[in-house]
């Protein structure tokens, strides 16, 4: 547009925190987004690429040439590079690896080798280490020489000559203790430590449980290799919550708000296809009973109630179990009491709501047996829903799959087909 306006916008962007620029980029449709991206000073590209969502990052990277990407990547620390690397074109990544020194290349390669859900993938290398045989006064002098500490430094890591971790020295202990004391006497030896192969989600739980800000990561020989910080953990918690929400709704991954129609269709088609198949199966179950429906057409109107309420109730149970699995509260020793409880809830709900809906059916169609069939079908389908609501997530968990993903579709498939079968089957036996 007007050149003057662009200059003003550019000045405003320069004053903003990278996270705020990222936020603006995410809220803009593609064309305007790229216009704004052009205005951002090249030396901030790296930081901002780290802050935007995966989907938006891809649109920005697609707009940059190899040299720009390399320049952006060179502004970043090794652990930040590891976050960015999967989105970079292969040749840029290779150039980048070549440009690093041996230590950082080894770090980046090892960071990339950990799976997404391992502690190794969220750790960083901004560690400040000291020896245990020095006094606090010497430690403080050493830090003043450093002139600055990495973000989130709430503790120093105490290691020996071989980098083996002996303890941690919290800054808040450092500043209140006697300056003549030795590090060894003030440090804490029972700090929470992680290994790079530990599951990141377990580390996140430890951060929440023990209120940590940073924690050291050591390899199998006890050598300090990195640290985990609370901001990485917070990102992880937020991402996990979002991915659960997305996958429960049948979205494969995070979607750029302004993605093209075609990209969105690709993101959503898989679950729609599964849903189509389960709906088709339910339809064939109804097809079995077309003869009965021809005779009593009211069955067609009533059957979706049995299926729908069953699905809702089954999803309540599944959500409870998925949550219990995530918190580690569901185990083999209490499975029996859980199933018994859920069946009890289902029986009570079935008799209660089945009774109500049976009475409505009687009122609408004036058939006492129809009301009874309705009530029985409802109760049986809720019992089926409860059983499946417990068993499906537990089975998914046992075979090593995320119990949140697709549980809802599977439950609904069961309660639809099952509900139609139970209701139409009972009706065929007792009413026809």
Q: Which residues contact 275 (CB under 8 A, 6 or more apart)?
A: 250, 409
Q: Which of 8, 12, 27, 54 binds a second copy (CB under 8 A)?
A: 27
Q: Does 114 contact a second copy by CB under 8 A? A: no
CB of residue 241 vs a second copy: minimum separation in angstroms? Answer: 3
Q: Which of 121, 318, 376, 415 binds a second copy (CB under 8 A)?
A: 318
Q: Which is nearer to a second copy, 8 or 294 (CB)?
A: 294
Site map (CB under 8 A) of a second copy, residues 220-239, x = contact: ----------xx-xxx-xx-
Q: Is 108 helix (H, G, I), strand (E, B) or coil?
A: helix
CB of residue 173 vs a second copy: minimum separation in angstroms? Answer: 8
Cα separations (Å) of 336 from 1, 324, 385, 394?
68, 14, 16, 12
CB of residue 92 vs a second copy: minimum separation in angstroms? Answer: 27
> Are 335 and 393 a contacting pair, CB within 8 Å?
no
Q: Does 257 contact a second copy by CB under 8 A? A: yes
Cα separations (Å) of 205 from 53, 87, 322, 372, 400?
24, 28, 16, 49, 20
Which two three-digit tokens encode residue 319? Answer: 């959500």
Q: Which is nearer to a second copy, 19 or 62 (CB)?
A: 19
Residue range at the interface with a second copy (CB under 8 A); choices 14-22, 34-42, 73-81, 96-104: 14-22
Q: Does 250 contact a second copy by CB under 8 A? A: yes
Tokens 């088609």 belong to which residue?
A: 269
The CA distance from 44 to 370, in Å, is 70
Q: Which of 86, 105, 106, 87 is nearest to 96 (CA)?
A: 105
Q: Which is nearer to a second copy, 9 or 237 (CB)?
A: 237
If one counts every other C-beta atom within 10 angstroms of the C-beta of residue 69, the result is: 24
Q: Which residues contact 8 (CB under 8 A, 6 or more apart)?
A: none
Q: Taking CB under 8 A as the criterion, which residues in 129-148 touch a second copy?
A: 140, 143-144, 146-148
CB of residue 206 vs a second copy: minimum separation in angstroms? Answer: 9
Q: Does 276 contact a second copy by CB under 8 A? A: yes
Q: Taking CB under 8 A as the criterion, which residues in 287-306 touch a second copy?
A: 287, 290, 293-294, 297-305
Q: Which of 125, 157, 271, 421 binds a second copy (CB under 8 A)?
A: 271
Partners of 227 in beta bridges: 124, 216
Q: Does 381 contact a second copy by CB under 8 A? A: no
Site map (CB under 8 A) of a second copy, residues 48-67, x = contact: --------------------
Residue range at the interface with a second copy (CB under 8 A); choices 82-90, 111-119, 174-182, 215-223: 174-182
Site map (CB under 8 A) of a second copy, residues 351-380, x = contact: -xx--xx--x---x----------------
Report CA torsion sign: 307, 308, 313, 317. Answer: positive
Q: How far is CA 108 from the centre of its chain?
A: 24
The CA distance from 179 to 175, in Å, is 9
Q: Which is nearer to a second copy, 161 or 262 (CB)?
A: 262
Q: Which of 71, 279, 387, 391 binds a second copy (CB under 8 A)?
A: 279
Total of residues contacting a second copy (CB under 8 A)? 118
Q: Does 183 contact a second copy by CB under 8 A? A: no
Q: Which of 46, 167, 216, 324 binds a second copy (CB under 8 A)?
A: 324
**Residue 409: enclosing H or E segment and its boundaries?**
helix 407-430
Q: What φ, ψ does residue 245 adopt, rounded to 5°?
A: -65, -45
Intra-chain end-to-end CA distance of the chain, in Å: 75
Q: Which is nearer to a second copy, 182 or 341 (CB)?
A: 341
Q: Taking CB under 8 A as the criterion, which residues in 326-355 touch a second copy?
A: 327-331, 334, 337-338, 341, 344-345, 348-349, 352-353
> Are 177 and 136 a contacting pair, CB within 8 Å?
yes
Q: Does 307 contact a second copy by CB under 8 A? A: yes
CB of residue 74 vs a second copy: minimum separation in angstroms? Answer: 22
Q: Does 165 contact a second copy by CB under 8 A? A: no
Q: Does 181 contact a second copy by CB under 8 A? A: no
Q: Give the DSSP per-residue string, 298-366.
A: HHHHHHHHHHHHHHHHHHHHHHHHHHHHHHT---HHHHHHHHHHHHHHHHHHHHHHHHHHHHHHHHHH-
């Amino acid at each position: 547009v007007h050149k003057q306006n662009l200059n003003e916008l550019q000045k405003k962007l320069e004053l903003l925190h990278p996270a705020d620029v990222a936020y603006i980029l995410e809220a803009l449709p593609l064309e305007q987004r790229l216009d704004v991206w052009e205005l951002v000073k090249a030396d901030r590209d790296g930081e901002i690429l780290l802050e935007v969502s995966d989907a938006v990052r891809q649109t920005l990277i697609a707009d940059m040439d190899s040299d720009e990407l390399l320049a952006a990547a060179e502004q970043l620390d090794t652990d930040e590079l590891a976050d960015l690397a999967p989105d970079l074109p292969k040749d840029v990544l290779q150039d980048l690896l070549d440009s690093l020194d041996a230590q950082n290349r080894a770090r980046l390669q090892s960071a990339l080798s950990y799976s997404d859900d391992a502690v190794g993938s969220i750790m960083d290398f901004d560690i400040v280490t000291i020896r245990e045989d020095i006094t606090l006064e010497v430690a403080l002098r050493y830090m003043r020489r450093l002139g600055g500490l990495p973000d989130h430094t709430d503790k120093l890591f105490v290691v020996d000559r071989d980098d083996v971790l002996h303890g941690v020295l919290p800054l808040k202990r450092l500043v209140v203790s006697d300056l003549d004391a030795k590090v060894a006497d003030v440090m804490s030896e029972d700090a929470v430590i992680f290994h790079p192969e530990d599951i990141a989600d377990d580390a996140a739980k430890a951060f929440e449980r023990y209120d940590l800000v940073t924690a050291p990561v050591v390899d199998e020989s006890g050598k300090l290799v990195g640290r985990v910080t609370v901001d990485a953990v917070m990102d992880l918690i937020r991402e996990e919550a979002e991915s659960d929400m997305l996958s429960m709704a049948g979205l494969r991954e995070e979607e750029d708000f302004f993605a093209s129609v075609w990209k969105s269709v690709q993101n959503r088609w898989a679950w729609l296809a599964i849903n189509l198949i389960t709906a088709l199966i339910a339809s064939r179950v109804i097809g079995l009973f077309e003869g009965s429906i021809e005779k009593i057409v009211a069955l067609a109107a009533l059957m979706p109630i049995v299926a729908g309420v069953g699905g809702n109730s089954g999803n309540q149970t599944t959500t409870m179990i998925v949550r219990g699995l995530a918190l580690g509260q569901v185990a083999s020793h209490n499975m029996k009491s859980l199933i018994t409880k859920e069946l009890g809830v289902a029986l009570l709900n079935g008799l209660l709501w089945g009774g109500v809906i049976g009475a409505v059916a009687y009122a609408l169609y004036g058939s006492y047996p129809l009301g009874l069939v309705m009530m029985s079908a409802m109760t049986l389908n809720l019992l089926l829903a409860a059983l499946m609501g417990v068993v499906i997530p537990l089975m998914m968990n046992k075979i090593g799959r995320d119990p949140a993903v697709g549980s809802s579709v599977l439950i609904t498939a069961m309660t639809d087909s099952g509900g139609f079968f139970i209701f139409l089957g009972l009706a065929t036996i007792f009413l026809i």
